[in-house]
Amino acid sequence: MRVAVVDLGTNSTRLLVADVGEDGSVEEIARRSTVTRLGQDLERSGVLAHEAIRRVAAALEEYRAVIDDLDVDIATGVLTSAARDAANGGELTALVCGRYAIDARTITGDEEAQLTYLGATSERRDDGTTLVVDIGGGSTEFVVGSGEELLFHVSTQVGVVRHSERHLHDDPPTTEQLQALRDDVAAEFAEHRQVGIETGIAVAGTATSCAAMLLELEPYDPDRVEGYVLRRDAVDALLERTAALTLPQRRELPGLHPDRAPTIIAGIAILLETMTAFELGEVTVSEHDILRGVALSRAREG
């Protein structure tokens, strides 16, 4: 079955088109990602900004053309933190379903966590206790499982857009602003700490960007990013380096997409606080995330 999945996140709008076999195999046909910053000013205003919706619509115009060209069987989509939190989130869902003929819905934080775990572990056969962390624009999901069994999952109100707007007001941010961000994140994560985690898997843009920057990838190469191990000392050094740069300087960093430069400092800080909370010295980066999880789930439904 050929499935198209659109993920409308707080920071990015993404597309995956994949052939999903009856045995659960997934062959990616196309993948797109556009930084649309749907969560722009959401924490202050409580609504999705008109210009943010226009950016999402422009991305969906492109994605709909890709979907049509690839003759998919099912076109589905999920809206996450920004749509959940916004007073006008339902209007965006209606737009996606109506104008772009994508069977989309806003999912809960719990559903987001479960779908992320399904995608991240779909090609892994490790029965040890594993944490999957998905750092998004408006929320961060933690899922702990062993094999196919979920042991714990939570969606937190920590995100790269949310916390950049909340704390990082100077460019580059001051030491005090960065520490305030980290303290805020640490306090949020404290109640969700789990002991005995054997391995960590990090998905989504912050983790993949960290790997690409450390590898200095130009252009981006998902095959080299998949499975890359981020060690805590390297991530710590990366935060120190990026936090000392202005936004124009960060946009020039090898391996970092320019559109991720405004929020990458918060993302790296959140990743470090995750590693602290769960006592992880390293995490493995995976390209397989909620997009793959939704594709697998939707294919099973038929």
E-strand ranges in the chain read: 2-8, 12-20, 26-35, 74-79, 103-106, 129-135, 140-146, 149-156, 199-203, 229-231, 282-286
Indicate if 119-286 has the same CATH topology as 2-109+296-301. Answer: yes
Q: What is the pLDDT of residue 43?
A: 86
Q: What is the pLDDT of residue 280?
A: 96
DSSP three-state, residue 180 = helix
pTM assigned to the model: 0.85
Q: What is the pLDDT of residue 156?
A: 92
Measured distance CA(4)–CA(29) in Å, rounded: 10
Q: What is the pLDDT of residue 102?
A: 97
Instruction: Match 């999402």 to its residue by tokens.
Output: 56
* Dihedral angle over CA of 16, 48, 208, 64, nearest 10: 20
Measured distance CA(220)–CA(208) in Å, rounded: 10
Instruction: Match 């949310």 to its residue by tokens.
Output: 162
Which DSSP string do the residues of 3-15 spell out, in sequence order?
A: EEEEEE-SSEEEE
Q: What is the pLDDT of residue 167?
A: 97
> Domain 119-286: which CATH class?
alpha beta
In CATH, what number does 2-109+296-301 get? 3.30.420.40
Mean pLDDT by 10 residues, the chain (302 residues): 95 95 91 93 92 97 97 95 93 96 93 89 81 92 87 91 95 98 96 90 94 94 94 97 98 95 97 96 94 92 76
Measured distance CA(27)–CA(231) in Å, rounded: 29
The 10s digit of each residue's pLDDT in 1-45 is 999 999 999 999 999 999 999 888 999 999 999 999 999 999 889
Which residue ranges make up each domain of the chain?
A: 2-109+296-301, 119-286
The type of residue at 75 is: A
Long-range CB pairs of 155-158, under 8 A, 24+ apart, other chains included: 155/81, 155/108, 155/109, 155/110, 155/112, 155/113, 156/188, 156/189, 156/192, 157/188, 158/185, 158/188, 158/189, 158/270
Q: What is the pLDDT of residue 113?
A: 84
Measured distance CA(233)–CA(290) in Å, rounded: 28
Q: How many CA atoms lie within 13 A of 87 on its CB side?
A: 9
* Dihedral angle over CA of 260, 263, 269, 273, nearest 10: -90
Instruction: Match 């430069």 to its residue by tokens.
Output: 261
- The first and second tokens of residue 149, run together, are 């069994």
Percent of the chain at pLDDT > 90 equals: 78
Q: What is the pLDDT of residue 150?
A: 85
